[in-house]
Structure 1
């Protein structure tokens, strides 16, 4: 009983430390049944290349964010339920070693660890937590996942019309195929249900035509599924890590926060001690 109470208090302090590290922009994370499994830094492939991000693995979700202030504070908090994650082990790339792919219905991206051992630990612990979560909930894992975006630097030309990108000819990404395209080839918007059930997202001309054909072949075409024409100024990076101002002066980092990059495995059993 004493061990159970001690673990519960330590776990609560760890989770509250994670909450505080994201400042006022972060969402509340603590729940009585939630356990912080581990934390560490990974390189995450973004549209502008690999960027360091802090990751926190809980028994029911994965949380990550951008690193600021020598790793003691974080921003742009992202929360992914473990039920919706699919992992794929990958060989080393040219720019990223010890990498793997994290797929989710709303966003998919590559991450890389500092060593092969850390990579294996992350993957094994995530899969173990997910398996236990699905078993206890009776849910099935998601079957629809977002595509990974091709990085900006991977193409100097539009991958649809071959026009060269310039200061005025900006790069955009089709949310359906992930291709780097120009504004002229991505004026249309369409609903992609597994990414966002109601919001119209930027799609390229080819994907827009395919979505229209599919919709017309299955049901009467609805006004909110045809996509709309709009200008570049309307684009929003729906799931990009946007730069925002942080108000962190009143938040004190807890003793549980560690500025090192090594993955810290906090509880080998993945479970609270039994009473």
Structure 2
């Protein structure tokens, strides 16, 4: 069914409509063989609070963005290749239901659906697309994932020193390695994590010590093996302290309006059951 939809006019129209909603700020989405399989609004747990986000499932990518006007205007487009995606079902609590985590090497985050049925729909459809994409590319499933950021509201004190209390003047920061909420003093260090950023990123004091120790061990092994070329400690100057601030905002500056957005998920099947996509 995916192959049949790939070259249909209705699929082209659906993709064009999504591109139009993102406007010039979004990347082109139409590619030969790409099929838009479904869309819907999910609640994404951002740094400061949970926010509605529009999600589009294609046969090879997952796209999401902020809602300005539903079905009309979206922004802050994010594109995730499906071969990099791993899903993790999260346990139910009285305050948090129908949640799961979308994990990739660059970013991991939690989303929730309006119902258990809708959550299962999303998970089963994404996982099937991931399996198909891995088979098509010949890549193994991803095993390295970025740590999800713990929401600001989860703690009032630094999760490393447990001494600093956050306030309007003492702001929260996030370690890019473990995702903990930490104070400025406990996150003065920067370390290069190539899968996250081409520049050194903020890490907490504990993660910095662990990463630096791992780096020294790797450099010693390289030197012991007699690796040709520049010494490792000169070739990879990747760690260092910094009192400067970096962008800790995640998606909180996107400014999407909160509201009662329709949560109905719609998977396109041209009049046939979704299971036909996987036949």
> What residue in structure 2 maps to residue 107 of structure 1?
107
Unaligned runs of 5+ in 2: 220-231
Corresponding residue for residue 187 of structure 1: 188
Q: TM-score, normalised by structure 2?
A: 0.84
Q: Label 1:230 to 1:243 Cα distance change in 2 as closer, same or farther (>3 A).
A: same
Alignment partners' CA distance in 2, 1:84 and 1:164: 37
Q: How many residues align structurally? A: 254
Q: Deviations over 1:131-162 (max 9, x none)?
A: 11111211112211000111101110111122
Q: For residues 19 and 104 of structure 1, what CA distance do their matches in structure 2 show?
A: 24
Deviation at 1:230, TM superposition (A): 3.1
User: Are residues 94 and 76 of structure 1, via their aligned partners in 2, closer, same or farther at CA, if it must alter by over 3 Å?
Assistant: farther
User: Following the alignment from structure 2 to structure 1, what is the Cα–Cα distance between the partners of residues 213 and 6?
Assistant: 59
1:4 and 1:127 map into 2 onto residues whose CA distance is 20
Q: Secondary structure at the match of 1:192?
A: coil
Equivalents in 1 of 2:68, 2:55: separation in Å? 14
C-alpha distance in 1 between matches for 2:174 and 2:57 = 29
Q: What are the equivalent positions in structure 2 for 1:14-163 lying under 5 Å apart?
A: 14-70=14-70, 72-161=72-161, 162-163=163-164
Please give the secondary structure, in 2, of the residue aligned with 1:224: coil
Distance 2:132 2:186 in 1: 44
More displaced stretch, 152-161 vs 220-229: 220-229
- Kindly report the root-mean-square deviation, in angstroms, between the aligned alpha carbons of the 2 structures: 2.3
Partner Cα separation in structure 2 for residue 6 and residue 27 of structure 1: 19
SS at match of 1:40: strand
Show the counterpart of 1:240.
Answer: 251
Deviation at 1:191, TM superposition (A): 1.0
**Post-superposition offset of 1:243:** 2.6
1:229 maps to 2:242: yes
Evaluate the alpha carbon distance shift between residue 9 and residue 227 of structure 1 in structure 2; reply closer, same or farther with a 3 A threshold. farther
The structural deviation recorded for 1:236 is 1.3
- SS of 2:277 mapped into structure 1: coil
Q: For 2:255 and 2:111, how far apart are their aligned partners in 1?
A: 23
Per the alignment, residue 262 of structure 1 pairs with: 264
Equivalents in 1 of 2:193, 2:43: separation in Å? 28
Tell me which of the two structures has the higher relative contact order, counting C-alpha pairs closer than 8 angstroms and 6 or more residues apart. Answer: 1
Residue 70 of structure 1 deviates from its aligned partner by: 4.3
| Secondary structure of 1:110's aligned partner | strand
Unaligned residue ranges in structure 1 (runs of 5+): 246-258
**Which range moves more in the overlay, 134-143 or 173-182?**
134-143
Q: Deviations over 1:35-89 (max 9, x none)?
A: 0010001111111121111100000010001111245311111110000011011
1:270 is paired with a residue whose SS is helix
Distance 2:8 2:71 in 1: 26
